[in-house]
Amino acid sequence: MAASKSGVSKPAVTSFQKKTRSKLISISGTRPSVQNGQLLVSTGVTSLDYLLGGGLAVGTVLLIEEDRYDSYSRTILKYFLAEGVVCRHELFVASAQDNPDDILQELPSPILDDVAIHKPAEQPRLPSDPPDSLDAMKIAWRYQNLPKVQTALASSSRFGHYYDVSKTMEPEIRQAAKCHRFYLPEHPTQSSPTHSTMLKSYSALLKSLQEVINREGFDLTTPMSNSRNILRVGLHSLGSALWGDDLCCRDNPRNGHALATFLYGLRALLRSSLSVAVVTVPSHLIQDRALMGSITRLCDNAIALESFKGSERETNPLYKDYHGLLHVRQIPQLNCLASKLPDHKDLAFKLKRKQFTIERLHLPPDLSETVSRVSRGELAGAPTAASACGTGTSGNKHLDF
Amino acid sequence: MFTELNSILNTNPDSITPGEFILISDRQSDASFLIHHFLSFYLKARCKVCFLGLVQSFNHYHAVSQRLGVSLLQAKEKGQLVFLEGLSESLSVLIPQEDNAGSQAMDFLRDPAAGLKSLYEFVRSSLNSPDGAEDWGPPVLLVDDLSVLLSLGVSVGAVLDFSHYCRATVCSQLKGSMVMLTRCEGEEEEDEGDDEGSERLLKGLTHQCSLTLHVQGLPTGYCREIHGQVEVCWRRRPVAGQYTPKKLFQYKVHDKGASFFAPGTSSAVL
């Protein structure tokens, strides 16, 4: 190669040309999927991207079943929107509860020099930080050079950005992004004769979304222009009473098919346009499991968050490293026969000082003197049992072989 | 088309049994790979196919079929395949426009209580139409999937009526075949007295059909190497003299097909 480079002065014509598919559109913040060639965008949470098979495919819906206080699901929604701002995608935010402007003001601040994030020294050390005490532990020399087991889910190549949840995004960055808002209380409800199964609020939302898609040229049927962009749709707390839906309030909801019909229409809209949606639903309020199942089916990806806040698990030492469990309800099969199932189904999430991560759930190492594993149920009343077992060895603390 | 499944069902594209109604159902698993199998199977058998794709876009079915060696676009151009793309048809109904020129097939969205008559009319006209250009084999109707109709507000009775009408027309009158997919949610035993929609639909359809393929997740839980199990159950037709009504297989879906094996004989286990 070096010889040919020095000898030839004319423009290099080699037989090695980068194979590019002209069919794929190059838009910032997207990449084609390795598996099926789908155009993917990042959710903003790197570990969630990995879980969903590299990212969210354009034209699909991610359903997030809210945790009880809607704190972590809201965090993911904000991550998703913040990633859109950084990638210069357009946003569409709809809510019935908070003003979309309020949601946008809370977006986390991006960390744009992402080299610093990998340095462990940057993070302030806590004296009670368990990994630190582990590092200090003497282990056999032959294990010292082994790589550390990585529990956080991550792919090898980076995609998406990192965010600092402790700070909010600067207004200049935020205002650079084009954002469409749909705030139900301020939206005039038209009295046009819509059909019976869909609520007025949902059909107004669907109509408003379609108008944005058609007006701003996200429609795939319109002739290809040079500057194509992605529309990120964030719909907050669909199905809650504020949308006029009674899914959450009654055992036998009158308009039980309204949300499902809306999601069907949303899927139809997204499949024919360059847009991607994240929908949060307060599923813990919905009594009818079958109804929730049909809602899940009409979304593509579905995850459920179960936070430990307010539950007895919060104080359980087994879960002290995590803030909640994450259940993968559904992974779509898009343009292929087999869906990419995750390796692992026991997943937990935590909100670190600056970052939201999803990790494989594992039990903490048992560092007590009695090595016998105590089952979860016994843990509450463990001290007495442990001391009873440990009476034999209480005299000599150090094991001698 | 999965050749392993063909040998299990004792069929091949050259000799298809007329008048079959195959019901595919699933519970806590995904049976849509079987729909792709039957779509490519009947297209290779040179049948006239009417496909009601209610849950996915045409591009999805096209991309998967290409991996299975069938081009839906070509089949559509030749007139072999009539494809109803439910998603795109529904938009004109869900978001009413001034120039309302959508097809009538998705009319049930406008008023779910009215039933699926328009959808049946679509099926009948598309399978009956004497194109005459090329002589295709017996007509076949595929539906993916019926339970989405329940989600959209259609009653169980209306869906069962629809499948019964289709069976009378396609299976009996035209000597064709029918494949329908329905999906159930949750455990089998829970809510005994509660006549939940999808369960009632499954029972009703099981009564009508001639062969069921019931896909389930593994009872022992999630596994990466085995995606689930299929219960094959023949009704009415004793197989090759002896009466073997039920067979159970485990399966794994690959990139371009699926493999079926007897329980416990996965390559990951042996």
**A→B interface, C-beta within 8 Å:** 36, 192-198, 203, 206-207, 210, 257, 260-261, 264-265, 267-269, 271-272, 289-290, 293-295, 297-298, 333-339, 341, 343, 345
Token couple for A350: 């935590």
Residue A61 Cα, gap to closest chain B Cα (Å): 13
A232 contacts A276 by C-beta, under 8 angstroms: yes
Q: Alpha-carbon distance B180 to B35, whole Å?
A: 8
Mean pLDDT for the stretch of residues B207-235: 89
Range B155-164 average pLDDT: 93
The distance of Cα A183 from the centroid of its chain, to the nearest Å, equals 23
Partners of residue A203 in chain B, C-beta under 8 Å: 94-95
- Four-residue CA torsion sign, A265, A271, A276, A281: positive
Question: Among A144-158, B31-45, B95-109, where is mean pLDDT lowest?
Answer: A144-158
pLDDT of A122 higher than 50:
no
CB contact under 8 A, B109 and A195: yes
Sequence spans of domains, chain A:
41-112+151-366
Q: B112 and A257 in contact by Cβ < 8 A?
A: yes
Judge: A195–B64 Cβ closer than 8 Å, yes or no: no
**pLDDT for position A133:** 47
Contacts of A206 in chain B (CB under 8 A): 94-95
Contact A242, A101 (CB under 8 A): no
pLDDT digits (tens, 9 = 90+) for A192-241: 555 556 788 898 999 999 999 988 888 877 666 667 889 999 999 998 88
Which pLDDT band holds residue B129 (cuts at 50, 70, 90)? low
Contacts of A150 (CB under 8 A, 6+ apart): none
Q: Which residues are within 8 A (CB) of B97 and not within 5 positions of it... i.e. 6 or more apart?
A: none
B260 pLDDT band, cuts 50/70/90, is very high
Residue A339: is its pLDDT beyond 80?
no
Return the pLDDT at A282: 92
Q: Answer for the pair A96, A302: CB distance below 8 angstroms, yes or no.
A: no
Contact residues on chain A for B36, CB-CB shorter than 8 A: 337
Say which range, A61-70, A106-115, B250-259, has the weakest mean pLDDT: A106-115
Residue B189 has pLDDT above 80, yes or no: no
Q: What angle do CA A346, A347, A350 make, to 5 degrees?
A: 150
Name the residue with tokens 């499948």: B163
Residues in chain A: 401
Chain A residues with beta carbon closer than 8 angstroms to that of B185 = 289-290, 293-294
In one-letter notation, the amino acid at residue B94 is: L
Q: Which residue has the tokens 């003197």?
A: A369
| Closest by Cβ to A290, choosing from B36, B197, B222 | B197
Are A336 and A35 in contact by the 8 Å Cβ rule? The answer is yes
Give the integer Cα–Cα distance in Å for A131 and B93.
58
Q: Which residue of A has its CA nearest to B98?
A: A192
Query: How confident is residue A170, by pLDDT bands cut at 50, 70 and 90?
Result: confident
Question: Which residues in chain A are contacts of B113 at CB distance < 8 A?
Answer: 196
pLDDT band per the 50, 70, 90 thresholds, residue A388: very low
pLDDT value, residue A257: 85
CA atoms lying within 13 Å on the CB side of residue B156: 12
% of chain B residues with pLDDT over 70: 88
CA A166 to chain centre: 18
Question: What is the pLDDT averaged over residues A332-352?
Answer: 81
**pLDDT for the residue numbered A401:** 55
Cβ contact A271–B96 (<8 Å): no
Q: What is the pLDDT of residue A226?
A: 61
DSSP three-state, residue A297: helix
Q: Read out DSSP for A361-373?
A: --PPP--SS--SP
From chain A, the residues in CB contact with B28 under 8 A are: none
Angle at B87 between CA B48 and CA B230, to 5 degrees: 65
Residue A128: band (very low, low, confident or very high) from pLDDT cuts 50, 70, 90: very low
Counting one residue from chain A and one from chain B, the pairs whose CB atoms sit within 8 A come to 120
Amino acid B137: pLDDT: 87
Q: Do B91 and A341 lie within an 8 Å CB cutoff?
A: no
Highest mean pLDDT among A349-363, B65-79, B215-229: B65-79
Find, in chain B, the residue whose alpha carbon is nearest to that of A294. Answer: B151
Host H or E run for residue A306? strand A301-307
CATH architecture of the domain formed by A41-112+151-366: 3-Layer(aba) Sandwich (3.40)
* pLDDT at residue B212 in the model: 93
Q: How far is A22 from chain B (nearest CA, A)?
A: 18
Q: Kindly list the residues from chain A whose CB atom is less than 8 angstroms away from the CB atom of residue B90.
A: 264-265, 268
Please answer yes or no on whether A203 and B147 come within 8 Å at the CB atom. Answer: no
Q: Is B256 on the interface with A (CB under 8 A)?
A: yes
**Is a pLDDT exceeding 50 seen at residue B249?**
yes
CA distances from B248 to A132, A316, B8, B228 (A): 52, 42, 10, 11
The model's pLDDT over A12-31, given as tens digits with 9 standing for 90+, comes to: 455 555 554 444 557 778 88
Mean pLDDT of chain B: 86
When pLDDT is averaged across residues A29-47 and rounded to a whole number, the result is: 84
Give the pLDDT confidence score for residue B122 in this predicted structure. Answer: 92
Residue B72 is predicted with a pLDDT of 94
B218 touches chain A (CB under 8 A): no
pLDDT of B246 above 90:
no
Quick check: A257 and B151 CB within 8 A?
Answer: yes
Ranked by mean pLDDT, the top range of A276-285, A347-356, B213-222 is A276-285
- The mean per-residue pLDDT over the stretch A59-63 comes to 94
The burial of A345, by beta-carbon neighbours within 10 Å (0-12 exposed, 13-18 middle, 19 or more buried), is given as: middle
Average pLDDT over residues B249-265: 90
- The residue of chain A nearest to residue B62, with distances taken between CA atoms, is A335
Q: To which H or E segment does residue A206 belong?
A: helix A200-215
Q: What is the DSSP code string of B177-196?
A: EEEEEEEE-S-SSSSSS---
| 8-state DSSP, A17 | -
Q: Cβ contact (<8 Å) for B224 and A341? A: yes
Q: Which residue in A265, A295, A333 is closest to B91 by CB distance?
A: A265
What whole-number percentage of chain A has pLDDT above 90?
A: 24
**What residue ranges define each of the domains in chain B, with the CATH number in brackets?**
16-92+103-186+196-213 (3.40.50.300)
Alpha-carbon distance of B3 to B254, in angstroms, equals 13
pLDDT the model gives residue B234? 86
Per-residue model confidence (pLDDT) at position A314: 82
Contact A338 B95 (CB under 8 A): no
Average pLDDT rounded to a whole number, residues B113-125: 90
Q: Do B64 and A337 touch (CB under 8 A)?
A: yes
Query: Residue B182 has what pLDDT?
Result: 93
Residue among B103, B151, B259 with most chain A CBs within 10 A, to mutate: B151
Residues with Cβ within 8 Å of residue B134, at least 6 apart in sequence? B78, B79, B80
More confident residue, A185 or B170: B170
Contacts of B33 in chain A (CB under 8 A): 333, 337-338
Average pLDDT of span A238-256: 82
The residue in chain B having the minimum alpha-carbon distance to the alpha carbon of residue A268 is B87
User: Between these two residues, B118 and A34, which has the higher pLDDT value?
Assistant: B118
Question: Please, what is the Cα angle at B56 between B55 and B61, to 5 degrees?
Answer: 130
Given this model, what pLDDT does residue B96 score?
Answer: 74
Residue B167 has what DSSP assignment?
I
Residue A172 pairs in a beta bridge with none
**Which chain B residue shows the shortest CA-CA distance from A197?**
B153
Report yes or no: B156 and B197 within 8 Å, Cβ to Cβ: yes
- Nearest residue in A to B221, CA atom: A345
Distance from A189 to chain B by nearest Cα, in Å?
A: 14
User: Which chain B residue is nearest to residue A291, measuring alpha carbons?
Assistant: B151
Nearest CA in chain B to A334: B60
* Window from A143-157, B6-20, B129-143 with minimum mean pLDDT: A143-157
Task: Return the pLDDT at A25.
Answer: 57
**Angle ∠(A99,A250,B156) on CA atoms, nearest 5:** 110
Number of residues that this document lists for chain B: 270
Choose the closest CB to B96 out of A192, A196, A197: A192
Any CB–CB contact under 8 A between B257 and chain A?
yes
Rounded mean pLDDT, B18-30: 90
Identify the burial level of B253 via C-beta atoms within 10 angstroms of its C-beta, where 0-12 means exposed, 13-18 middle and 19 or more buried. buried
**Least confident stretch, A44-48, A355-359, B233-237:** B233-237
CB contact under 8 A, B87 and A196: no
What pLDDT sits at residue B119? 93
Q: What per-residue confidence (pLDDT) applies to B121?
A: 92
CB neighbours (10 Å) of residue B5? 23
- Using the predicted structure, report yes or no on whether residue A288 has a pLDDT greater than 70: yes
For residue A156, give Cα distances in angstroms to A50, A84, A153.
Answer: 10, 22, 10
**Residues whose CB falls within 8 Å of the CB of residue A135, separated by 6 or more in sequence, listed in order:** none
Instruction: Average the pLDDT over each of A40-54, A57-71, B84-98, B129-143 and give the range with the smallest value.
Output: B129-143
B64 interaction partners in chain A (CB closer than 8 Å): 335-337
Please give the average per-residue pLDDT across A274-297, as a whole number: 89
Interfacial B residues in 61-80 facing A (CB < 8 Å): 63-64, 67-68
For residue A387, the model assigns a pLDDT of 42
**Distance in angstroms (rounded) separating the CA atoms of residues B139 and A14:** 54
A128-158 in b/e form (b: 16+ CB < 10 A) is eeeeeeeeeeeeeeeeeeeeeeeeebeeeee
